[in-house]
Amino acid sequence: MQGMFITGTDTGVGKTLVTALIARSLAQDGLDVGAYKPLQSGHPLGHPDGDVMRLRRIGGITDAPEQMCFRALEEPLAPGLALARAGVSVTRDALLDHLAAYSARHANMLIEGAGGLCVPLTEDLTVADLACTVRLPVVIVARSGLGTVNHTALTVHYARSRGLSVAGVIVSGMPHDEDCLEWANIPMIEEAAKCPVLAVLPLFAPETGSVEQTLALDRQWRPSEFLSGKHMFVMKE
Ligand SMILES: Nc1ncnc2c1ncn2[C@@H]1O[C@H](COP(=O)(O)OP(=O)(O)OP(=O)(O)O)[C@@H](O)[C@H]1O
Ligand SMILES: [Mg+2]
């Protein structure tokens, strides 16, 4: 499988937005791409605010939601817990078979985890376990503000301790003020985590805002060049 595994330092840090923007950028560069959310919690599969529909809408993916996600769960909890509370049993193999069927349709796959790397997806599979199984380079999405250096460095170090290849970090939600102190976190992340910050996304207007705004990623980092092994563009201020 070729592609990227997108995880984050936490839930709500911008993984879906980043995954969708990478999908869009790859498609614009002429690459065939699919996006997968193994288990979605908090919204039914077809809900417009759920990750799968956002990946389709913002990422321009046209595949059926049922192909892009094994199962959606109502409660906004870690998938492993939401599954248990719903009395649903999902085996690792069933999930991997579903992913394999979908990934066979695309030359490049983006897989979005849930929460961070240690989150249980099923009884016997964490997000990190899945990343290890699919063997894709990992992109870590992080917040821009206070606390992010520690969260990001811990996530990168844990990923490496599991043998994962960390492509880099994407920081989401940088305030527009160029002099703001949050910019100081970028070199601190690179130093503490010993990995590049690939892109910094500004704090966008709500996702319903202009497409122009959501294309900012394209100007900063070329995911297609990363996938083709050419180079990584390290975006600085
Ligand atoms: N750069 C940004 N500018 C503005 N809003 C953002 C930005 N990044 C993320 N958000 C918003 O923050 C919220 C959480 O983002 P998102 O759903 O992408 O996070 P997530 O990491 O995928 O969460 P989950 O763990 O639930 O999958 C969303 O409403 C999203 O639009
Ligand atoms: Mg998400």
> Is 232 part of a structural domain of the chain?
no
Ligand having the closest approach to the CA of 41? 1
pLDDT above 90 coverage of the chain, percent: 73
User: Which tokens in the block code for residue 189?
Assistant: 């992340």
> Is 201 part of a structural domain of the chain?
yes
> Is 135 part of a structural domain of the chain?
yes
204 Cβ below 6 A of ligand 1: yes
Closest ligand 1 atom, residue 207 Cα: 31
13 Cβ below 6 A of ligand 1: yes
Region 123-146: mean pLDDT is 96
- How many Å lie between the centroid of ligand 1 and the Cα of residue 16? 6
Q: What is the largest CA-CA distance in the chain?
A: 51
Examine the pLDDT at 208 and tell me if it is beyond 80: no
> pLDDT tens-digit profile of 36-92?
999 999 999 999 999 999 999 989 999 999 999 999 999 999 999 999 999 999 999
> Is 233 part of a structural domain of the chain?
no
Nearest to 60 by CA among 87, 84, 33, 83: 33
pLDDT grade, residue 235 (50/70/90)?
A: very low
Find the CATH number of the domain harbouring 113. 3.40.50.300
> Is 56 part of a structural domain of the chain?
yes
Closest ligand 1 atom, residue 141 Cα: 21
Ligand having the closest approach to the CA of 43? 1
201 Cβ below 6 A of ligand 1: yes
Give residue 211's domain range.
3-227
> Is 237 part of a structural domain of the chain?
no
- How many Å lie between the centroid of ligand 2 and the Cα of residue 51? 5
> Is 235 part of a structural domain of the chain?
no
Catalytic residues: 37
Q: Per the structure, how many domains does the chain have?
A: 1
Q: Which long-range contacts (CB under 8 A, 24 or more apart) does 183-191 make?
A: 183/237, 185/144, 185/145, 185/148, 185/149, 186/236, 186/237, 188/149, 189/142, 189/148, 189/149, 189/152, 189/153
Closest ligand 1 atom, residue 76 Cα: 26
Backbone phi, psi, residue 61, to 5°: -85, 135
pLDDT grade, residue 218 (50/70/90)?
A: very low
